[in-house]
Structure 1
Amino acid sequence: MPNLTERKRIEISIMVEYGDKLPIHQEACYLLNQEHPHRAPIVRSRVSKIVSKFEETGNVRDLPRPNIDQETKLNILLEAEENPHASTR
């Protein structure tokens, strides 16, 4: 999955939500991939996620990842070692 800049995410949102005759996410993918053939292709699910994020939050930025202290990281590793078949989430 290509790492998209905030500017490109905004462009996708505008194309899908407010663009002229571009209500379909697949059409937005096609246009973006034509515009940037040197980049990894953008797929419809990526466009859908960006549009959903914009509709829910009013922003296309990724949320910051939470900081996990060293003690918590160590506890997670110990738990994973003790229960190797347990989910890592």
Structure 2
Amino acid sequence: MANHKSALKRIRQSEKKRLRNRYYHKTARTVLKVLRNEEDKAAAAIQLPLVISLLDKLVKKNIIHKNKAANLKSKLTKHVNKLA
């Protein structure tokens, strides 16, 4: 266990950040799953910009890597365009 005041504070901060990042990441996975399982093209087209925006926010907060977000956005866009 840390002895310094600053080290104790850093432990508290990192735990809060870990939980927050975990929440954001889990939320993103859920939204991605919902969009992938969507059968209706109109509904998927409405959801796609919201999901892309969410991914961009996660990149900005360094929760996911920018290349991973780019790959996800590309695959999701292909999926939505492929729907009948």
TM-score normalised by the chain length of structure 1: 0.28
Structure showing greater radius of gyration is: 1
Whose RCO is larger (CA < 8 A, sep 6+)?
2
TM-score normalised by the chain length of structure 2: 0.29
Q: Give the helix-richer structure, 1 or 2.
A: 2
